[in-house]
Chains A and B, each alone.
Chain A
Amino acid sequence: MPRLNRRLLLPVATGLLFLGVWQGVHLYLSDDLRFLLPSPGMVWSAWGEHGDLLRRATANTAQGALLGFSLAVAVSAGLSLLLSLSASIRSSLYPYLMALQMTPLPILAPICVIWVGAGLRSVALLTFVIAFFPLVVNTTQGLIATDRNLVELFQLYRARRWQQLFLLRIPAALPYFFTGLRIAATISPIGAVVAEMNAGSSAGDGGGLGFQAVIFASQAKYAALFATAATTCLLGFALNAAVLALSWTALHAWHDSYERTDR
Chain B
Amino acid sequence: MSLCPVVELQAVAKRFGDGPPVLEDISLRAHPGEMVSLLGPSGCGKSTLLRLIAGLTPPTAGSLRVEGRPPGDPAASVAFVFQEATLLPWLSVRANVEVPLRLGGAAAADRAATSSRLLELVGLGHRGDAYPRQLSGGQRMRVSLARALSLSPRLLLLDEPFGALDEMTRERLNEELLALQGAGSWTGFFVTHSVAEAVFLSHRILILSAHPGRLHAEVPVPLPHPRTAETRLQPDYLRLVAQVSRQLRAVSPAG
Contacts and interface: CB of A to CB of B under 8 A. Distances in A.
Nearest to A256: B133
A224 to B, nearest CB: 48
Contact of A152 (B56, B103, B104, B132): B56
Contacts, number: 56
B88 A157 contact: no
B100 A157 contact: yes
A150 B131 contact: no
A174 B102 CA distance: 21
Contacts of A261: 134
Interface string B42-64: 00000000010011100000000
Interface stretch (A16-24, A84-92, A130-138, A163-171): A163-171
Nearest to B144: A153
B134 A260 contact: yes
Nearest to A163: B103
B86 interface: yes
Interface string B9-49: 00000000000000000000000000000000000000000
A159 B90 contact: no
A255 interface: yes
A167 B86 contact: no
B54 A156 contact: yes
Nearest to A174: B90
Interface in A156-188: 156-159, 163, 167-168, 171-172, 174
Interface string A73-106: 0000000000000000000000000000000000
Contacts of B88: 150, 167-168, 171
Q: Which of B54, B74, B84, B103 has the most CB of A within 10 A?
A: B103
A260 B133 contact: yes
Nearest to A168: B88
A157 B99 contact: yes
Interface string B79-95: 11010101011110000
Given A153-B80, A254-B133, A256-B133, A158 B90 contact: no
Contacts of B91: 254
Given A154-B103, A256-B89, 10 more contacts: A147-B86, A149-B86, A150-B86, A156-B54, A158-B74, A163-B103, A174-B90, A254-B91, A254-B132, A255-B89
Interface of A: 147, 149-150, 152-159, 163, 167-168, 171-172, 174, 253-256, 260-262
Interface of B: 51, 54-56, 74, 78-80, 82, 84, 86, 88-91, 99-100, 102-104, 131-134, 151
Q: Which 8 A/B pairs are nearest by Cβ-Cβ distance?
A: A149-B86, A157-B103, A254-B131, A254-B90, A171-B90, A159-B103, A157-B100, A254-B89
